[in-house]
Amino acid sequence: MKTIKGPAIFLAQFAGDEAPFNSLDSICQWVAGFGYKGVQIPSWDGRLFDLDKAAESQDYCDEVRGTVAAHGIEITELSTHLQGQLVAVHPAYDVMFDGFAAEHVRGNPTARQAWATEQVKKAATASRRLGLDRHATFSGALAWPYVYPWPQRPAGMVEDAFDELARRWRPILDHFEEEGVDAAYEIHPGEDLHDGVSFEMFLERLDNHPRANILYDPSHFVLQALDYLDYIDIYKERIKCFHVKDAEFNPTGRQGVYGGYQNWVDRAGRFRSLGDGQVDFRAIFSKMAANDFDGWAVLEWECCLKHPEQGAAEGAPFISDHIIRVTERAFDDFAAGGADRELNRRIMGID
């Protein structure tokens, strides 16, 4: 068994234009003050990180590592959630997702997809230069508008969508293989990879590509009423990253999983700060330890009620309290007598 590393924090929800949130150095100093030992860096945020430079320059990557290390912190992973989303965009979402892209490719879906593909590839190279072996991303979605089967979906449409999704991702994953980095898809509503079955559909079309893996976040499973503990046992070999995020699902006679188009605070399913929701983190950390998860426990803060700075301050001790220092021996070793085959045979009455 292995002890999970942490606590760590995803910086995406905290980056801003004012100090200490506007530079990698200052934000690392800020999170170190709460006790965090790792940071997951959003590769699209130029205030914190230059992805293009990182993909080309080892000196720049060494500088970034030094900046982080100066505060007693490590980089856990880079993230391309926004760029990964743009690898596959259904036309219904063109306008809404265009803002995730560089200005020169906005309004041009073909150019935007090509740009996003190169961005994710660059992140694989940058990860290798930073000494990282795993990476967090989104899959994008072509079939998501049809997640509910009414009107009835045309025969073969979902299969065609997953065929195309796999076609777009295979060369990216091959590049990840060349760089020795795992791509961990956050399994998330709004992505075609939103539960176990959809991930398996994708993986099958990629011939079980070794670099196609999972970022596990139980909050998204709470909102789907999916068994998030069983999920760990089923996909333990593919879980490479871990977002520690809480949620609650309180259906009423007026709304359920779909939320009735309400804002977050009024939905039956809501994201919450750690400890304020319904996720059984004791059980999750136990399963992660038993299954030899050797990655980082990374806070992703998204709460409809609590201030982010309070959530960040509370998150580090919460994660630390849940990390299990795994035992190196069995509790009943004191009673062990060593193997004695003759004694065993006599106990069982075997001649």
Task: Give the pLDDT band of residue 339 (cuts 50, 70, 90).
Answer: confident
Model pLDDT, residue 155 = 97
Q: What is the pLDDT of residue 175?
A: 98
- Is pLDDT at 335 greater than 90 in this prediction? no
Q: Residues 238-273: pLDDT tens digits?
A: 999 999 999 999 999 999 999 999 999 999 999 999
Average pLDDT estimate for 76-99? 98
In CATH terms, the superfamily for domain 5-347 is Divalent-metal-dependent TIM barrel enzymes (3.20.20.150)
Please report the pLDDT score of residue 351 as a whole number: 77
Is 242 strand, coil or helix?
strand
Band of residue 329 on the pLDDT scale cut at 50, 70, 90: confident
pLDDT of residue 276: 98
pTM of this prediction? 0.95
Nearest to 231 by CA among 96, 222, 256, 12: 222
Where is 327: in which H helix or E strand? none
pLDDT tens-digit map of 280-311:
999 999 999 999 999 999 999 999 999 999 99
- Helices 24-32 and 58-69: crossing angle, nearest 10°? 30
In Å, what is the CA distance from 239 to each residue of 59, 214, 338? 31, 5, 36
Q: What is the residue-averaged pLDDT of the chain? A: 96
Of 14, 16, 67, 10, nearest to 39 by C-alpha is 10
Residue 331 — pLDDT band, cuts 50, 70, 90?
low
Q: What angle do CA 42, 44, 48 make, to 5 degrees?
A: 65
The closest alpha carbon to 9, from 34, 43, 44, belongs to: 34
Q: How confident is the model at residue 152 (pLDDT cuts 50, 70, 90)?
A: very high
Q: For residue 193, is pLDDT > 70? A: yes
Q: How far apart are CA 260 and CA 161, in angstroms?
A: 27
pLDDT recorded at residue 334: 62
- What pLDDT, on a 0 to 100 scale, did the predictor assign at position 258? 96
Residue 247's CB is within 10 A of a number of other CB atoms, namely 23
Has residue 343 got a pLDDT over 90? no
Instruction: For residue range 108-128, list pLDDT tens digits in order.
Output: 999 999 999 999 999 999 999
pLDDT bracket for residue 328 (50, 70, 90): confident
Position 333 scores a pLDDT of: 66
Backbone torsions φ then ψ of 38, nearest 5 degrees:
-150, 155
Residue-wise pLDDT for 195-254, tens only, equals 999 999 999 999 999 999 999 999 999 999 999 999 999 999 999 999 999 999 999 999
- Tell me: the pLDDT tens digits for 21-64? 999 999 999 999 999 999 999 999 999 999 999 999 999 999 99
Which stretches of the chain are DSSP H helices? 24-32, 51-56, 58-69, 81-85, 94-97, 109-129, 157-179, 196-205, 218-222, 228-234, 281-290, 308-322, 341-347
Compute the average pLDDT of residues 132-158.
98
